[in-house]
Chains A and B, each alone.
Chain A
Amino acid sequence: MNIEFDFGAVLSEWPLLLRGVAWTIGLTAVGTVLGMIVGTFCAWARADGPKWLRAIVGTYVELIRNTPFIVQLFFIFFGLPAAGVKLTPEVASVIAMVLNLGAYSTEIIRAGIEATPKGQIEAAVSLALSKSQVFLRVVLPPALKKVWPAMVSQIVIVMLGSAVCGQISTEELSYAANLIQSRNFRLRGLHRRHADLPGAVGGAAAAARLGGAEVLLRALSEHGHFHDHG
């Protein structure tokens, strides 16, 4: 059988793929920043907060960690409008990613917070720092530094997970790939011998994403190293 991969048809649509890459990176960046803020707050709540707040945060974390991202996304995008909250695909994607990363980073950051030596907190308290000052200036910075590698892997997982956002027509990389595929689609039955585009497009998109994730990972971990030694 004669199969030829025709990447040309894919590459000629490069602006679309590029825009997809931009969306993927943008979604991940926004999701990461907001998600880590949520995670930090929840980690604080779980470590120091009042009992009722601890229970709520615990439920939130377990709910998110034990359901698939795609279901969370569908719930937010398709489910919430029925309850009166209408969201664009992009906003729904960001909310889903923030909630998702927030839950995972809660656990990660909490581990860092719990690893703080007691003497540090006692020393800070004896210097008459207020409770919030102790948390923000003494406990949090070294905790974040400690858990940074775990955080980076989680961010990459979220980035890979953002592929699912194409399912609700957020125009990220996978969506772009699917769009190109359906524009140029050559029906399998008609052109069995000809290059089948979906495979090629999928391959290209996957390769691009792999490269992107690697670069991000490396940049972030270098950043982390810099902090470690600095």
Chain B
Amino acid sequence: MTARIVFLLMIGVMMFTATTQSAIKFTQIQSPNSPLIAFRIILRAGSINDPKGKEGLNALTAMLVANGGTKDLTYSQVVEKLYPWAASFDVQTDQEITTFTGEIHRDHLHDFYKLFSDLLLHPRFDEADFKRVKDDNLNYLQNGLRSTNDEGLGKEALNAFMFEGHPYGTTDVGTVQGITSITLDDVKKYYAETYAQSNLWFGIAGGYPSSLIGEIQNDFAVLPVGQHTDITLPQPKAIKDMEVMVVEKPARAYAVSMGYPIPVTRSDKSYYALLVANSYFGEHRTFNGILMNHLRGDRGLNYGDYSYIEKFTGGLGGAPFPNPNTPLRQQFFSIWLRPVQPENTHFAIRNALWELKNLVDKGLTREDFENTRKFLINYSKLWVSTMSRRLGYQMDSEFYGTDYYIDAIVKELNSLTLDDVNSAIKKYLHPSDIKITVVVDEGKGKQFLDDLTNNTPSPITYDAAKPQNILDQDKLIQIFPLAVNASKSVVVNAKELFEK
């Protein structure tokens, strides 16, 4: 079967990117016939801008701006105004940037714009709103991430472990002690220093009038011009062998995340070679990947097994596509194993790394390469099926200094060779020098780590008869050696994480 390459949202669209007479950068995708208008307003600051001891200040400030009032309206009055329009003004906090998002029907464009520009320009900073938002962020860490979401916990623990001592090493909402120490005055000061024209990047798409841009420039001129400066990032600490963090909390199955920083982002040519390799190995929530087919499909170990060559958020629940606007200047490779039965977790870790070793040793065949390349060229078109997503991906492309990402995938993949892909795998991917986090049940951490460290065999049994080739592989996998670096490996309680 042949499928033509699909072109979505490419009709009736005019795209502009400009830094105009104000210091605010604009990205525009104008589509006059569209009744919808999407906004993505990026603040070029994120959790990496948090002052030491005030981890969470960037997120708390942004959340208070988006979920507070204006000088004229209380928070409840803002909600009341937005309600009949079915509009919202939300914020996505992240490490490098913070993105305010809104979507509105053109019937209410002007009123909506006035309202959210007031939120951004004249935040109320009410003490009661501050307390509410601060409580929410503390609850997210103390009663959410640490206790009720083992998959998210494993991923955030891996991030903290991989980027220990690095600006990326806290969650984007901060730490418990950091948030606790933040005062409303801290928020006001951070807002005054950071919400400057040079830090703002306005994305707008849909059926808006051209005059809106001038209006925005005019209104936002009340902000100081400022001077955008990128925070200097150190190199992440080198990883030696396999460094393991076992996290204890009540858990009936064990979530696993593993990975390491890689010196490749969308700005690099090698990224596109790795994009193909990764899709073949672990495309998120599809049955294309080696990991998914061998761990879930062949062995029924869990619900899903995927890999990534950059930060990936979203794509759970509904459509499996990644959220835009989480760009990083330093990226990482990771593998995510969804919770595995305790007795099979050691085996599952070995199985994933055994598959990674095979990928590095053998690479892709020509057929694998051609099929995966073709898949990605078509599939990536689906990532931008709404105007807001298209806008977000366009802005990410500008962050990385590339052509529009979806176009870049087509261009780069069409010129890619099998050798490019297999060389990139050899250069950047490896089953050693990796950090692993495993969320295990209370009191089970030490034994689990000992078994990993001692390379205790981890045989697996099945309810069903298995083909001989699977059983033969299992014999190799159950004793696949893992070079655990005991001096760099720890057992911690979940309540110790994200504390400071």
Please indicate whether A and B come from the same complex rather than being unrelated chains. no
* B residues lining the A interface (CB < 8 Å): none
* A residues lining the B interface (CB < 8 Å): none
